C-alpha cells in the first residue's frame, strides 16, 4: 500500500497545472499546499500524491488507481492534452494479469505516470 509519493519537478507552477488537469478524471484534486509543494488526493483531505521543487530531482514512477477503464482512458486523454508524452496508450497489459488495464505518460520532467484499473471490463 502506498501512503504517499512525491514527484520532484523543475517548474512547480507548470507541474501543478499539469497534474490538476491530469488527475481530475481520477477524482483527485489539490488537498494541501505549501510554498513549492502541492498535495493531491481523492477528497478525504489527506493527500497521497505530492509534487515539489527540490534540487535533488529525479524521475519517479507513480501508478494511480482508476475506478474503471473509462477513467484510465480519460486520464490518458487529459495527460496528453495537457502536454504529457505518451509512454503507453490505454490497453490491457496481460503480462501483469488478465484484467490489468493501464495507460502511461511522461510528464515534462520525465516522471512516468500510470493510471490502472484491475477490474474486468
Domain boundaries of the chain, sorted by first residue = 5-43+59-117
Matching CATH number, 5-43+59-117, of 3.20.20.150, 3.10.180.10, 3.30.1330.10, 3.90.1520.10: 3.10.180.10
pLDDT tier, 53 (very low <50, low <70, confident <90, very high otherwise):
confident
Q: What is the pTM of this model?
A: 0.78
What is the arithmetic mean of pLDDT over 9-21?
A: 95
Asked if residue 116 lies in contact with residue 59, where contact means CB atoms within 8 angstroms, the answer is no
Instruction: Tell whether the model's pLDDT for residue 106 goes beyond 70.
Output: yes
What is the arithmetic mean of pLDDT over 62-68?
A: 92
How many Cα atoms occupy the beta-carbon half-sphere of 111 within 13 Å?
26
Q: What is the pLDDT of residue 1?
A: 39
Q: What is the pLDDT of residue 22?
A: 96
Amino acid at each position: 500500500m502506498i501512503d504517499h509519493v512525491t514527484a520532484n519537478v523543475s517548474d512547480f507552477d507548470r507541474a501543478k497545472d499539469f497534474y490538476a488537469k491530469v488527475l481530475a478524471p481520477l477524482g483527485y484534486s489539490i488537498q494541501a499546499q505549501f510554498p513549492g509543494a502541492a498535495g493531491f488526493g481523492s477528497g478525504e483531505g489527506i493527500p497521497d500524491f505530492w509534487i515539489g521543487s527540490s534540487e535533488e530531482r529525479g524521475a519517479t514512477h507513480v501508478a494511480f488507481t482508476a475506478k474503471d477503464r473509462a477513467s484510465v482512458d480519460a486520464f490518458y486523454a487529459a495527460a496528453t492534452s495537457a502536454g504529457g508524452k505518451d509512454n503507453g496508450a490505454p490497453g490491457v497489459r496481460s503480462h501483469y494479469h488478465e484484467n490489468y488495464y493501464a495507460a502511461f505518460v511522461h510528464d515534462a520532467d520525465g516522471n512516468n505516470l500510470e493510471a490502472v484499473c484491475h477490474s474486468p471490463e
